[in-house]
Structure 1
Amino acid sequence: MYLVDTQHIYGIKRCHVYTIEWQKRGLLHVHCLSWMVEKIRSDQIDSIISAELPDPNEDPALFGTITKHMIHGPCGQLNPRSPCMKDGQCTKHYPRQFLRESITYLNGYPVYRRRYPEDGGVETTIGRFHVDNRWVVPYSPFLSRTFDGHVNVEYCRSICALKYLMAYLNKGKDKAVVVLANRHRNNEITRYQIARYISTNEGVWRMLQFHINDHFPAVEQLHVHLENGQRMLFNVQNAPDRAAEPPATTLACFFELCATDNFAKTILYIDVPRYYRSVKKVADIRSPHLRTVNVTVFDTYAEACRERGLLADDRHWHLALTEATVTDRPHKIRDMFAIMLHMCEISDPLRLWEQHKGAMAKDFLRTLRRRANDDTLPYTDAIFNRERLARNERSLTQDQRHIYDELLAYVARGPHDTIIFLDAPGGTGKTYLLNLFLDKIRSQGDIALAVASSGIAAELLTGGKTAHSVFKLPLDISRYERPTCTIQKNTTRARLLSLAKVAVWDECTITKKLSWH
Structure 2
Amino acid sequence: MNVEICSTIKLVKYLYKYVYKGHDRVSFHIYSENNPGNIDEMKDFQTGRWVAAAEAFWCIYKFNLNEMTPAVYTLQLHLPEFFVWKPTKKKWIERKRKRVIGRVVTVAPNEGERYYLRLLLSHVHAFTCFEDLLTVNGKLMLSYREAVFQIGLLQSDTHMEDTLNEAAAFQMSSSLRTLFAILLAYCSPSNPKVLWEKYETEIRDFEKAKSFSAQNVEQIRRCVLLDINKSLEQMGKNVNDYHLVPGGFILNHDERLTREIQSELSIQFTEQDLLLPSKLNIGQRFAYGVIL
Counting helix residues as a fraction of each chain, which structure ranks higher? 2
Q: Under TM normalisation by the shorter chain, which class is it?
A: 0.3 to 0.5
Task: Give the TM-score normalised by structure 2.
Answer: 0.33
Counting strand residues as a fraction of each chain, which structure ranks higher? 1
Q: Relative contact order: is structure 1 or structure 2 higher (C-alpha 8 Å, sep ≥ 6)?
A: 2
Larger Rg: 1
